[in-house]
Amino acid sequence: MDYVIAHGAKIPALGFGVFRMSEAEVETIIPAALETGFRHFDTAQIYGNEAALGRALQAAGAAREDLFLTTKVWVDKYEPARFAASVDESLEKLRVDQVDLLLLHWPGHEVPVADQIAMLDAAQAAGKTRFVGVSNQNVPQLRESVATSTVPIVTNQIEMHPYLDQSAMVAAAKATGTALTAYYCMADGAVPRDPLLQKIGAQYGKTAAQVGLRWLLQQGHIALSKTAHAGRLAENFAVFDFTLSDQDMAQIATLARPDGRIVDPEGLAPDWTA
């Protein structure tokens, strides 16, 4: 496993996300994910499966010190008392005293970013999380978060895959020392089917999906993989034994297109062009 270091946080570069997974799926797949080698697990209050993840990790006998756990606070909890209660609920469900990383899930439009950051910092000061970060922020919001927070913002978790040009965010994150965590890495199934990625993968005996993950990891990003099928776990994890060439990396970058963004919920998403 490779690691990404950001402001003192040592984060396993390949994580396992449980977005849109039922509790039954989570409890079935987590033991196999642990056996495969995954130690970084990403969930959120709104996913409705924190408790299942907590049960599964405990039942599997996973040592807490070996895990990196991330969860997120939903936008309807952006008020000090509700925010703190949400974090406490997450800890109870996950069966831990603190998470490794706590994120603001979406910026939304109702509560100023500075107020959101103050609540996040308070949770860290209370010992409920080791590190703090944000998710789905645009460039100005990330800069404001970094400038406002009393503790380092270690990551911005955003949609990242070959079809979406995130170069502006990459530059902003580099300038602030903030890691980027990629979700939707498979672009709703487009990555595994992509002819170019399949062609590149054939050179290395790898699948297009593995090439897509490797492309993100090789740029120094954290990548969240996801599967409910145990048979896919080994494929997703086997991305550290090959290196894409500079030509491969450049070719993959040409797949970006103006309509490449998939996740853009009204009322939650910021102005991505800001």
Binding-site sequence positions for substrate: 105
Neighbours of 176 (CB within 10 A): 17
Neighbours of 242 (CB within 10 A): 15
- Which residue out of 3, 47, 78, 183 is catalytically annotated? 47
Token digits of residue 34: 């642990």
For the chain, how long is the longest CA-to-CA vector?
A: 54
Token digits of residue 133: 């970060």
- Burial label, 189 (beta-carbon count in 10 A; 0-12, 13-18, 19+): exposed
Secondary element (H or E) of residue 108: none
Instruction: Report which residue type is found at 119.
Output: M
204 catalytic per annotation: no
> Which residue in 62, 61, 51, 60 sits closest to 24, CA to CA?
51
DSSP string, 132-187: EEEES--HHHHHHHHHH-SS-EEEEEEE-STTS--HHHHHHHHHHT-EEEEESTTG
Neighbours of 156 (CB within 10 A): 26
The angle that helices 195-204 and 246-253 make with each other, rounded to 10 degrees, is 170
- How far is Cα 186 from Cα 180, in angstroms, rounded to an integer? 16
Indicate the annotated binding residues: 105
Catalytic residues, by residue number, are 47
